[in-house]
Structure 1
């Protein structure tokens, strides 16, 4: 016959007392130890974050602040040195927008940016798919396509300026052999933008090729094998498998290409200097011309143009983040 232990029985009280005695008492010393451990962990975390935070503050946040301050004041060379410029608010932005160069520069920036990244992405994707198919010397040829990306932009732009020279360029010499009349690539308002577009597209193709080729390598081959068993053609495989699965890589490739192309300066400046008659002037070129290209530097309007360029890049960055969030939640 078993006996039932009531809640107030001596056996239950002894068991509860033993359980309570096994737990360590919550003393002030224990509390101090926990606080020291938390403080040490926080210091270690800040130790890892501090170099990046300092780098961002020194090389990004402070220059951006100075550029914004420069655009909100009326700076001259003298006031820039002694720091006595008057605060004028948004007057520099109004002056820039009302300037006759604003609309041509805005149009040229949009054309140069979107045409460049469109051709760079399309050609880079086609080359990535081509080199993804294994064939002899594929690695060697793919490495040769990286040469434009590895060359200094000064060298690339100078080479294209020589090739497109109206009188002694190899491009016009080749066209004349097939009966095409001479084209003034760098000095004609109709062709100057085309010339800098050709050079920039040629330089940007290797970047798209490398990123998209890496994305193709992450697509499981089993999907293509299953599609082949179902009788899918090569075009169907591209539209139903390759292109959809490359969307995350394509998005970051287009965003990086957009941000890079918006601020392209050296290629255009070396080849055409923004001319003739502002035919190839972009915001980056115009900002430089205002700040350093004229006899009397207009530092504050130049900073305003640069900030407009930053706002455009920031807007596209926000669009990219919002698109990625929607894709993750869907």
Structure 2
């Protein structure tokens, strides 16, 4: 059986391994997209770690990821709890809640641009009507960061809701009945029963969403392009610009490898939490 699987394993290794190896080689060389330049060692990594633009992108990436992970988890978990018990129209309601995840991100970003992009968009007009003046959501750096983070939560909560709903199915209803008899409140049941029982699924969803958020290029680029004044430039957008606009693939790939290293560390920490929750 191992011999039958060997060709597929070799093919997967070549398909997935070659780009990684080539990227690693490129990260320690200069040159452009077409021709590999001279060996520069760790210079690309040093340049990235001493570049103010890198740290600005890193800060935004951290904020964006934390909002994407915990914001979407709070909303998704709450909706999973809300739709857990049967009620009229439950199936239709669940399908409607999944729409932000189902609809292509291009369509979603265009819809949000229609809502907030210009002073004549719906939300700026509403802000003027309420007496807030000209609120330009994508022209003000702080408002742009908030808008992008809210957009990320909006398109990500369905994934968290599905993960949470699947985990909640494993909670035995008799446990809640016993807790109710013992006088436990709804909050106590949530804190001491629901959250601990669903902890493994929660940690897994955090790992996956952290990866999705750090590597999320389309959400940011389609909504703001990384602006204004680079306020919403994440590390993946910075790497894209370095490779395809500034023609510095070594620097861009170095940024990507730094991102990967941080993600590996975060994943290891959360996987340890999964083991602890399994042993508890």
Tell me the TM-score normalised to structure 1 length: 0.81
Which position in structure 1 is the counterpart of 2:199?
A: 247
Higher relative contact order (CA 8 A, sep 6+): 2
Runs of 4+ in 1 over 6 A off after TM superposition: none
Aligned partner (choices 72, 89, 92) of residue 41 of structure 2: 89
Structure 2 residue matching 1:134: 3-state secondary structure: coil
Which position in structure 1 is the counterpart of 2:228?
A: 276
Alpha-carbon shift at residue 329 of structure 1 (Å) = 4.7
Note if 1:216 corresponds to 2:168.
yes
Aligned-partner Cα distance in 1 for 2:5–2:235? 38
Structure 2 residue matching 1:155: 3-state secondary structure: helix
Aligned partner (choices 170, 177, 185) of residue 225 of structure 1: 177
- Structure 2's unaligned 5+ residue stretches are none
Alpha-carbon shift at residue 57 of structure 1 (Å) = 1.3
Which position in structure 2 is the counterpart of 1:70?
A: 26
Which one is further off, 179-188 or 54-63?
54-63
Which position in structure 2 is the counterpart of 1:14?
A: none
Q: 8 Å contact 2:119–2:135 — kept in the other structure?
A: no
Alpha-carbon shift at residue 309 of structure 1 (Å) = 1.1
Tell me the TM-score normalised to structure 2 length: 0.95
Aligned ranges 1:1-330 → 2 under 5 Å: 44-48=1-5, 50-51=7-8, 53-54=9-10, 56-80=12-36, 85-294=37-246, 297-329=247-279
Which of these two proteins has the greater Rg computed from alpha carbons? Answer: 1
- Structure 1's unaligned 5+ residue stretches are 1-43
Aligned-partner Cα distance in 1 for 2:33–2:92? 53
**Cα distance 1:138–1:163, how it changes in 2: closer, same or farther (>3 A)?**
same
